[in-house]
């Protein structure tokens, strides 16, 4: 059968992709601009087809703790929310990371701080890649820039989460969540059987068989010597992820004299700005981090050797720019352009920022 | 071919659904499309707009500074978007919603009395399809057949009996759109 191309919102694509990827459970609570994830799941009724559980919890806090419970049994479970809701989930996320549980958290960001606005934002970058919850932990953070990637990254996030026994987060924003584009959905997979789950997750708490030691899922360890060992183990795992899982896309970088670094919706806007700038003879390239953690520091450092200046474009007051500066290590000027609180810049504003901040 | 279009008017006029039908029609012809609504605490009577891009190539930004074509269905939208039409571009406005018509001389201005026509013929709900017909007369971005195919694909079966009415609305729009000297 020829693959079916459909037109849908990014949020809807996440829901369809989750069903088709054989996800076992979704636990969420509605919040704009991501409510279509839960709405689409409710419309599709996957509990009647694949057997996937879809549950509207009483709050974001319950939803993330239901994810903890489901993940502890080795099931593929996820939640989604938007910025204020994801703040509520942070304690649970830290526990999931501490207990090394694979899961998917989706954040379709809106403007903050506080209850903020419902318009698009990327101001949760720090929260996503620098902690958010307490303790030395990392989330595998994927930043989709299209509706197709909203669909594709659901499966990728689960693959990585299970490969490393670590929570993964899909960091989108109101633009990617609300816009409609063409998308080819993954083929329908059947959910894993209980036997397959046990084989994939020998660590999971899914019923002790005779002869094996009990599997204990916890983030608590009162003996500091043991807790340090656990932390060292986590850091070793994070180093492995950093070595193996960096993903990014480069467009027109070969001859670039100026480089834009942008992720998600801003990468799309910046790509248009690049086209406009190139039409004026300004050689601009675009480097789009796909994984925000692990961050493509080496790729950015490599381009820094070639360009005269770097501009990050973000829907925030300057967050990813800090990681770009660390990567570049003062070799070239690194500037930031952003709009705040739910305002999205148009491509002309970014071209103007290239001229005023980089070329001068 | 690439068409960057803004459709703007009051909530409830079918702005978002007109954009969706146009985007879906592009999909029927295997084109690249994006549909980006200004979402917010929208309500009937408030302002609504959507950016639709239909292209043969991969589309970069779903958000634009300038448009090839603006479809303007109320006065506040005209004030917001008239100066964002590219020089040489097209601005289509509905006569009913616009008290002070556009004044730019470096763009092509068209008027379509879709609201009056729709009301007169007792087909008020097809207002947006009349406007879409007008657009497709000027800019044949997609075939009428693709629009009908998109309607068949997106409308629930129980509404399929309304498709001929929508087709009629498209044809009316193609007939009544007229050029305006500024």
pLDDT at B46: 78
Taking Cα atoms as reference points, which of A312, A303, A359 lies closest to residue A335?
A312
Q: How far apart are CA A179 and CA B163, in angstroms?
A: 26
- For chain A, the residue count is 360
pLDDT at B97: 85
pLDDT in tens, A308-322: 999 999 999 999 999
Pairing state between β A258-261 and A248-251: unpaired
Q: What is the mean pLDDT of residues A162-180?
A: 98
| Selected residue of A146, A181, A278, A315 to mutate for chain B interface (largest B Cβ count, 10 A) | A181
Q: Which residues of A touch B39 (CB under 8 A)?
A: 32-33, 118-119, 174, 178
Query: ipTM for the complex?
Result: 0.93
User: Is B85:B107 a contact under the CB 8 Å cutoff?
Assistant: yes
Q: Which residues of B touch A274 (CB under 8 A)?
A: 60
pLDDT in tens, B142-174: 999 999 999 998 889 999 999 999 999 999 999
Q: Select the more confidently predicted residue: A119 or B12.
A: A119
Nearest chain B residue to A181, by CA: B34
Taking Cα atoms as reference points, which of B16, B5, B68, B19 lies closest to residue B43?
B16
Q: What is the mean pLDDT of residues A146-150?
A: 98
Q: How far apart are CA A247 and CA A296, in angstroms?
A: 7
pLDDT at A2: 54
Mean of the per-residue pLDDT values of chain B:
94
CA distances to A81, A129, A139 from A126, rounded to whole Å, are: 17, 5, 12
Q: For A179, which of B32, B34, B64 is closest by C-beta distance?
A: B34
pLDDT at A208: 85
Q: What are phi and psi of B133, to 5 degrees?
A: -60, -45
Q: What is the mean pLDDT of residues A75-97?
A: 98
Q: Which residues of B touch A347 (CB under 8 A)?
A: 61, 63-65
- A1 has a pLDDT exceeding 60: no
- Determine, for residues A118 and B41 on separate chains, whether the beta-carbon distance falls below 8 Å: yes
Share above pLDDT 90 across residues of chain A, in percent, rounded to a whole number: 96
Q: What are phi and psi of B107, to 5 degrees?
A: -130, 165
CA distances to A8, A34, B54 from A186, rounded to whole Å, are: 14, 21, 24
Compute the 3-state secondary structure of chain B and give helix, strand, coil in percent, each to the nearest 5: 40, 25, 30
Q: What is the mean pLDDT of residues B103-131?
A: 96
pLDDT tier, B119 (very low <50, low <70, confident <90, very high otherwise): very high
Q: What is the mean pLDDT of residues B65-83?
A: 96
Least confident of A97-111, A141-155, A194-208: A194-208
pLDDT tier, B133 (very low <50, low <70, confident <90, very high otherwise): very high
pLDDT at B43: 66
User: Is B177:B138 a contact under the CB 8 Å cutoff?
Assistant: yes
pLDDT at B116: 95
pLDDT at B42: 63
Mean of the per-residue pLDDT values of chain A:
97
Count of Cβ atoms closer than 10 Å to residue A193 Cβ: 9
pLDDT in tens, A14-64: 999 999 999 999 999 999 999 999 999 999 999 999 999 999 999 999 999
- Determine, for residues B39 and A349 on separate chains, whether the beta-carbon distance falls below 8 Å: no
- B107 has a pLDDT exceeding 70: yes
Q: What is the mean pLDDT of residues A135-140?
A: 98
Straight-line distance from the first to the last Cα atom of chain A, in angstroms, rounded to the nearest whole number: 55
Q: How far apart are CA A303 and CA A250, in angstroms?
A: 10
- A336 has a pLDDT exceeding 80: yes
pLDDT tier, A354 (very low <50, low <70, confident <90, very high otherwise): very high
pLDDT at B182: 83
Q: What is the mean pLDDT of residues B88-103?
A: 95
Q: Select the more confidently predicted residue: B44 or B66.
A: B66
User: Is A5:B27 a contact under the CB 8 Å cutoff?
Assistant: yes
């Amino acid at each position: 059968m020829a693959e079916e191309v459909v037109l849908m919102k990014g949020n809807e694509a996440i829901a369809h992709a989750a069903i088709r990827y054989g996800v076992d459970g979704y636990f969420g609570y509605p919040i704009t601009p991501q409510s279509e994830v839960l709405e689409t799941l409710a419309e599709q009724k996957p509990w009647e087809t694949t057997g996937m559980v879809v549950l509207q919890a009483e709050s974001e806090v319950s939803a993330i703790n239901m994810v903890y419970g489901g993940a502890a049994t080795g099931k593929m479970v996820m939640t989604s929310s938007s910025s204020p809701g994801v703040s509520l989930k942070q304690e649970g996320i830290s526990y999931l990371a501490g207990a090394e549980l694979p899961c998917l958290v989706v954040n379709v960001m809106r403007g903050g701080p506080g209850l903020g606005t419902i318009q698009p934002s990327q101001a949760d970058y720090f929260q996503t890649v620098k902690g958010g919850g307490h303790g030395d932990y990392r989330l595998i953070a994927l930043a989709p820039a299209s509706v197709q990637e909203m669909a594709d990254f659901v499966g990728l996030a689960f693959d990585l989460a299970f490969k490393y026994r670590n929570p993964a987060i899909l960091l989108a924003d109101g633009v990617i969540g609300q816009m409609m584009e063409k998308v080819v959905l993954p083929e329908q997979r059947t959910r894993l059987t209980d036997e397959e789950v046990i084989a994939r997750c020998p660590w999971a708490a899914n019923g002790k068989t005779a002869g094996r030691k009990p599997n204990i899922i916890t983030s608590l360890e009162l003996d500091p010597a043991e807790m340090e060992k656990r932390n060292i183990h986590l850091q070793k795992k994070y180093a492995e992820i950093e070595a193996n899982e960096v993903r990014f896309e480069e467009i027109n970088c070969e001859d670039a004299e100026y480089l834009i670094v942008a992720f998600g919706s801003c990468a799309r806007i910046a790509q248009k700005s690049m086209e406009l700038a190139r039409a004026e003879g300004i050689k601009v390239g675009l480097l789009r981090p796909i994984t925000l953690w692990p961050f493509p520091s080496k790729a950015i450092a490599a381009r820094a050797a070639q360009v005269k200046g770097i501009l990050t474009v973000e829907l925030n007051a300057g967050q990813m720019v800090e990681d770009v500066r660390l990567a570049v290590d003062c070799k070239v000027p690194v500037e930031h352009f952003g709009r705040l609180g739910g305002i999205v810049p148009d491509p002309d504003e970014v071209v103007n920022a290239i001229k005023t901040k980089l070329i001068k | 071919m690439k068409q960057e279009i803004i459709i703007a008017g009051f909530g409830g006029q079918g702005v978002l659904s007109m954009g969706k039908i146009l985007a879906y029609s592009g999909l029927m012809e295997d084109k690249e499309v994006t549909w980006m609504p200004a979402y917010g605490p929208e309500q009937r009577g408030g302002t609504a707009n959507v950016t639709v891009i239909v292209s043969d190539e991969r589309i970069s930004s779903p958000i634009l500074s300038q448009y090839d074509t603006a479809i303007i269905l109320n006065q506040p939208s005209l004030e917001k978007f008239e100066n964002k039409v590219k020089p040489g571009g097209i601005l289509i406005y509905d006569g009913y919603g616009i008290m002070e018509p556009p004044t730019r001389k470096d763009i092509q201005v068209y008027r379509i009395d879709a609201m009056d026509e729709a009301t007169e013929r007792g087909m008020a709900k097809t207002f947006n399809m009349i406007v879409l017909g007008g657009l497709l007369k000027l800019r044949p971005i997609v075939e009428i057949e693709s629009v009908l195919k998109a309607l068949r694909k997106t409308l629930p079966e129980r509404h399929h009996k309304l498709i001929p009415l929508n087709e009629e609305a498209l044809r009316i729009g193609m007939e009544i759109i007229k050029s305006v000297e500024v």
